Amino acid sequence: MAAPRVRVPKLPLTLKERSALRRAHLSRIDLVRLDPQKLMQATQGALPGKRAQELCSLAQFQQLPFIGPSIATDLLRLGLKNLMDVKKADPGALLKRLERLAGKQDPCVGDVLHSAVWNAKNPKGPERPWWEWSKQRLAKSEKPRKAAGKASKANMPVRPKRKPAG
C-alpha cells in the first residue's frame, strides 16, 4: 500500500524564515511532520516557539483534502493546533466561532469545515469534498421552499397570455 501523498503547503514565510529553513536543510514539506519544538531547535531559535507552532499547524491542515491556505489560517485562528484538534471539532461550532471572529461567512465555508472534520476523522477512507455538504445543505433548505412555493403558486392570480405581435 502506497503512503499518502504529501502536499507541499503554501506558507506565509518571511525572507528570514525561508533563510532559516534553508540553513537547517528543511523544506516546507518537512513542516508537515515536524514537531514545532524540533523546528525551533533545527532553526536555532530563528523560528520562535509560537511561530514554529503556527507554521507546523498550517502545513498539517493543508494536508487535508480541499483545504488551502485560507481555511488553514481560519482553523489556526479558531485555536486548533493539529489534525487531532480538527478530528475532535464540531463543524457547526467552528463556523459559529469563526463568524464571531470574522463576521458572517458564506455557507460554503461551513461545508468546507464539515469536509475538513470528516476527512481528518477518516484519513484512510475516500475523500469527501466540501460540495457534498453543499448538496446536503441545499437539499435540506429546498424542501421547505418547495412546499411553500406550491402553496403560494396556488394563490397567485393567473396572468393572461400575450398575443403575438403582427
Per-residue pLDDT of the chain (166 residues; tens, 9 = 90+): 455 678 899 999 999 999 999 999 999 999 999 999 999 999 999 999 999 999 999 999 999 999 999 999 999 999 999 999 999 999 999 999 999 999 999 999 999 999 999 999 998 888 888 888 788 888 887 766 555 555 555 555 566 666 777 6
Same domain, 55 and 109: no
Report the Cα–Cα distance between both ends of the chain, in Å, rounded: 73
Assess if residue 152 is contained within a domain. Answer: no
Assess if residue 34 is contained within a domain. Answer: yes
Buried b (16+ CB within 10 A) or exposed e, 96-120: ebbeeeeeebeeebbbbbbbbbbbb
Q: What is the DSSP letter of 25?
A: T
Same domain, 76 and 126: yes
Same domain, 70 and 130: yes
Number of domains in the chain: 2
116 within 8 A of 71, measured Cβ to Cβ: yes
Same domain, 52 and 72: no
Same domain, 84 and 126: yes
The boundaries of the domain holding residue 37 are 7-63
How many C-beta neighbours within 10 Å does residue 128 have?
Answer: 15
